[in-house]
Structure 1
Amino acid sequence: MKTQMDVTRRRFIQASALTGVGFMVGCSTNAPQNAAATAEAACLETDKLIFNHFVKVCSDNTVTVVIKHLDKGQGVTTGLTAIVAEELGADWDQMRWEFAVADAKRYNNLLWGPAQGTGGSTAIANSWMQLRQAGASAKHMLIQAAANTWQVPAAEILLDQGKLLHPSGKTAAIGDMAIAASQLIPPQNPPLKDPKDFTLIGHKLPRIDSREKSTGKAQYTIDVKRPNMLNAAIVHPPRFGAKAVRIDDSQAKAMPGVSEVINTPRGVAIIADSYWTALQAKQRLNIQWDFSQAENRSSAQLHTEMNQLARKAGTSVKNRGDFNAALSSAAKTIELNFEFPYLAHATMEPMNCVVELTDSECHIWTGCQIPTADKWAIKAITGLPLEKIFIHTQFAGGSFGRRAVPDSDYVAEAVMIAKAMNNKQPVKLQWSREDDMKAGRYRPMAHHQLTASLDSEGNISGWRQRVVSQALLRGTPFEAMITGPIDVTMTEGATQLPYQIPHFAVEGTEVPVGVPVLWWRSVGHTFNGYVTEVFFDELAHAAKKDPVAWRMDLLKDHPRHQAVLKLAADKSGWGEPLPKGKARGVALHESFSTIVAQVAEITLNSDGSYKVDKVTCAVDCGIAITPDVVRAQMEGGIGFGLSAIIGEKVTLNNGEVVQSNFHDYTPLRIQQMPDIDVHIVPSAEAPTGVGEPGTPPIGPAVANALRVLTGKPITQLPIGPVVS
């Protein structure tokens, strides 16, 4: 006789073969981790839970969406849940969510291949059809279950706002049909809603995580406590690549509460009964370092070297037409050289990780951005098989790329420490802000040279950009992403320039530097969006053309770009007169398949100080799943980018990072934040990313406004609070 579990397993196999959403029946065995805790706990008690990889319908009438992406503030818990709720026909109040387990087979990023992770503004884009199908399949099964129960045709049943309705007057909550629906095989190609019938997608929805975040119930890694947990702090080498050759830990170990001092491949860790004790013990360590293999150059030396390289031909990345011929016949030639500093990610919650390691398995709690990479790093350290490594994803207090580390730096450190402790107790490694500022990962330093030729009528006949920087991907597990001669992250946003320019060339030069670099919000677009749009305005001034009108003329093959630019210009009052000392600047950039235009309105004072008064932003991101989240991400991206261009930089002095905290690495202050007006282009196209595309245009928009008032392009960042 077949048991119910046998039937369940067979149907799971059938469902997996039939659909991409992989329905299965059973109950969850993981303790709740988030906002769904109360409802999920009740559901577990009844042991009547139906679920697929992404949708769980409980008999208490709650629906839980499994979120395969990290929520680090960008709102994917709301957006992904809304997609399922829309197709399912659920009421928003009954929706819950939970983070997925680390399992690349079920929860891979569809745009990345066989890897689970969040980044590149892909969360909504890669989940769009997957979650629509998951929600639609669950809807089909619930309707069919009701049809079987009521003995009526399924076509006569409506599922709306979480209720199953039949013209005869029969009604049921979806929870009432959860068990019966679980016995059904999911459809292979469930019908999807016509977008004109959407009632949640594209409409105003309260963020699903707002209550727990505003009441302090949301759990971040810094909040995690395990039984008998110890705390760890770490001392990193003061220069990248240095090694500890002698450690005097006698004073640190003499402190009450300090249990161990451990020398790891990445630094010296102090284990104590509290984080405060571990921090104090750090100050009592006497460490002698070997700097022979370290990066010992200063920022000034690196800038000089990169500047010289930018004046030489690099490796050709894009070549259309004949730039040299255009240059030789030019009526006018313009050239600008740009200089960018290292930048920190400066997340509000510094890096941290909790590890519970035994001889047979490893559990970690962290704001995990790329579970697949972290699991492989843990496997290399512990020797455990991947299936014995469990990641409990928490909310993350910001990332901007910082938690997507190819070598899993802080996670690897925490596991190394736990292993060195002989797996005795759980341990939480908490970096201080100074740790991450002085020994973290940075946006690369870079130099760009742009040269253009104008013909006798003032048209751009040729354009060449030379990029000199460190390669983000070279020498990392992600190096396979480099498909051309140069790391693609150096030139993204430069090679795809949408303007009609007949002779066009992009060259790149990779520079090896011993400073660890990492993608930073919008990655290569953060450089290339700035230099191309500032340079374009410089050409507009030289040709005596209106910057918006000229862009519109050169975007004739890109109507979506034109529509975004026109919307931003119209809403900003472009062309309308401004009082003396005020000006507007414009910038347009596409990144991660999303087009953003911004107009910055500024005031320049007589002493050279300035204020960004207002930013008008237009965005085309396809269909806006949750418009409020889109607006919030544009606002956040603008603030983040504005912060970088006004006051942020990381400086090296003989290889050591000078800055240590927010007193000398100065992010944007609240009084510097401009008014922001965001407009979303209506669209029926598939959704694209919004986490990063708001950042690239703000820098050039502000610089171009200052150019109107000062007559000089801004080619060295940060600008500072005063225009020099």
Structure 2
Amino acid sequence: MAAPRNSPFLPSRRGFIKIWLGAAGGLAIGRMLPVHAEGGLVTFQPNPFVIITPDDIVTIIVKHLEMGQGIETGLAMLVADEMDAARAQIRTRFAPTDASRFHNLLAHGLQATLASTSMANAFLQYRHAGAIARAMMVGAAAKYWGIARGHVKVAAGQLISVRGHRASFGAMAARAAALEMPIAVDLKRRDEFVFVGRSFKRLDTPAKCNGSAVYAADIKREAMLVAVVARPERFGGRAMQVDEGAARAVPGVVAIVPISRGIAVVAETSWAAIKAKRLLKITWNDTDAEIRSSSEIMAHHADLAGKPGVVIREDGDIDAAAKGAATVIQADFHFPYLAHTPMETLDLVLEQAGGRARLWVASHVPGIDQANVAFELGIASHEVEVITVYAADPSVAGRPSTAMRPLRRPRSSRRWGRSGRSSSCGPGKTTSKAVTIDRPRCTG
């Protein structure tokens, strides 16, 4: 439960380190970031998650991927609530790839969006970020007006003194930037929330309705090539023989290259690549492929469920309890493969120039894709800029490495001196979550 306004939020030393300490050993929020200027005006950024500009815009840096689940709005409202900002002045920006500042506190130091942990790990972190920004705004106003901090209140993005002074966040941004950042700050009580726990329109809805929201498929670069992949119908299948004749005759086709999981077609346009892909005549080798039916796979898992497995946790002796129990209830719960058939294809855009690269992608774990690109191009990870875009479907997000394969170094934009988009579309784009069988047993 949140600490009341009249008492500071003071976690234990261990709790503070767990919440704020970055993966590289630096405080992810417990430090003032360098003050910088945009358009000649001082920009106030009290921590990695909040930026306040003189035009009175409050920009929230969103460290998690927005893929339709609403986390962009959720995180922004946490900050806005603790700041007492007006909803109209809130903007968002996806975080750059930097696990030292933007890691998921429940994902072993990775900058990751997974397992429904986004709000769980960021709830206190983003509230604390907003509370720090608010405290510094109040401190700046109090110092400027020559009054005690307790004589300044905040409402809807306005700083108001008991003497009638009023100022916006933007007007106090430069003065707040000159103050030391507080460590202990007050968090709101539940009954003080303005946004948290209430229903309101999502921040991304207008852009997604008017077409201005940017997805990887929207990115266009000069002289960009497009790659699509023909994949086997069975997992583990490999191309044994390929007749490329008709495909190579399609105007705009640049190359047809084998990759580990299929055949990539590289062309000047998406349509040329898709058309050529359809004209490929591929004989697949299913020797190492998964050829069992769903029922056969489920039967195999049912057999495994009856055998001893790895014990994760054991409390008491269920077998002994069952022998002396009046009633034993046991049931099998079968969870089949869950098909991920996305509305959006797997897309990414990769551009390389002057020993650096830029990657536009919707990724659950952008650091992995940054490292993969760096490895394939033979450059350092920090030379790869990952630009996070919206994902239209959670099934797509997090699998860019699959779409990246046709753009890898031996066959990449380096070879043709062009930017490249890789798309997975048509048959073979479906992925699945694993099949499981749960067998709980209760005694009474």
In 1, Cα distance between the equivalents of 2:245 and 2:426?
26
Is structure 2 residue 139 aligned with structure 1 residue 144?
A: yes
1:350 is matched with 345
| Structure 1 residue 20 corresponds to structure 2 residue 10 | no
Q: Deviations over 1:500-526 (max 9, x none)?
A: xxxxxxxxxxxxxxxxxxxxxxxxxxx
Provide structure 2 residue ranges, at least 5 long, that are not aligned to the other structure.
Answer: 1-24
Q: Deviations over 1:654-711 (max 9, x none)?
A: xxxxxxxxxxxxxxxxxxxxxxxxxxxxxxxxxxxxxxxxxxxxxxxxxxxxxxxxxx
- Contact 2:213/2:390 (8 A) holds in 1: yes
Post-superposition Cα deviations, 1:74-124, rounded to whole Å, max 9, x if no partner, equal: 111111111111111211111111100011011111122321011121111
Q: Counterpart of 2:100 in structure 1: which amino acid?
A: K
Matches within 5 A, 1:230-379: 230-329=225-324, 331=326, 335-358=330-353, 360-379=355-374
CA-CA distance at 1:213 after TM superposition: 1.4
Q: Which amino acid aligns with 2:401?
A: S
Aligned AA for 1:429? S
User: Residue 250 of structure 2 contacts residue 276 of structure 2 at CA under 8 Å; is this kept in 1?
Assistant: yes
Tell me the residue number matched to 2:403: 410
Provide TM-score, normalisation by structure 1: 0.54
**Aligned pairs for 1:42-53 within 5 A:** 44-51=38-45, 52-53=47-48
Aligned residue in 2 for 1:422: 415
The 5 A counterparts of 1:655-694 are none
- After superposition, residues 596-615 of structure 1 pair within 5 angstroms as none
Distance 2:416 2:62 in 1: 31
Q: Deviation string for 1:571-609 (max 9, x for gaps)?
A: xxxxxxxxxxxxxxxxxxxxxxxxxxxxxxxxxxxxxxx
What does residue range 367-406 of structure 1 map to in structure 2 within 5 Å? Answer: 367-400=362-395, 403-405=397-399
Cα drift, residue 431 of structure 1: 1.3
- Counterpart in the other structure of 1:216: 211
Residue 177 of structure 2 corresponds to residue 182 of structure 1: yes
Distance of 1:125 and 1:330 partners within structure 2: 39
User: Does residue 436 of structure 2 align to residue 443 of structure 1?
Assistant: no
* Larger relative contact order, structure 1 or 2 (CA cutoff 8 Å, min sep 6): 2
> Could you tell me how far apart the structure 1 residues matched to 2:152 and 2:440 are?
63
The 3 A distance-change label for structure 1 pair 358 and 422 is farther
Answer yes or no: is the 8 Å Cα contact 2:30–2:183 preserved in 1: no
State percent identity of aligned pairs: 31
Q: Distance in 2 between matches of 1:153 and 1:262?
A: 70
Secondary structure, in 3 states, of the residue corresponding to 1:307? Answer: helix
Q: Distance in 1 between matches of 2:411 and 2:349?
A: 9
Secondary structure in structure 1 of the residue aligned to 2:386:
strand
Give the residue type in structure 2 aligned to 1:258. Answer: V
Distance 1:169 1:330 in 2: 73
Q: Counterpart of 2:174 in structure 1: which amino acid? A: I
1:628 maps to none
Seen in structure 2, the aligned counterparts of structure 1 residues 450 and 109 have a Cα distance that, compared at 3 Å, is: closer
On the 8 A contact 2:159/2:167 being kept in 1, the answer is: yes
TM-score (norm 2): 0.86
Q: Provide Cα deviations, 1:294-325, integer angstroms capped at 9, x if missing partner.
A: 33333343233333333444444444444334
Q: Which amino acid in 2 is paired with 1:403?
A: A
Q: Secondary structure at the match of 2:187?
A: coil
State the secondary structure of the residue aligned to 1:22.
coil
Structure 2: distance between partners of 1:116 and 1:17:
15
316 and 110 in structure 1: CA distance in 2 versus 1, 3 angstrom threshold: closer
CA–CA distance in structure 2, aligned partners of residues 409 and 308 of structure 1? 32
Change (3 A) 1:420 1:55: closer
Tell me, in whole angstroms, the C-alpha distance in 1 between the residues paired with 2:410 and 2:217: 17
SS at match of 1:24: coil
Q: Is the 8 A contact 1:162 1:174 kept in 2?
A: yes
Contact map agreement 1:355 1:415 (CA 8 A) in 2: no
The alignment covers a number of residue pairs equal to: 419
2:257·2:411 contact (CA, 8 Å) conserved in 1?
no
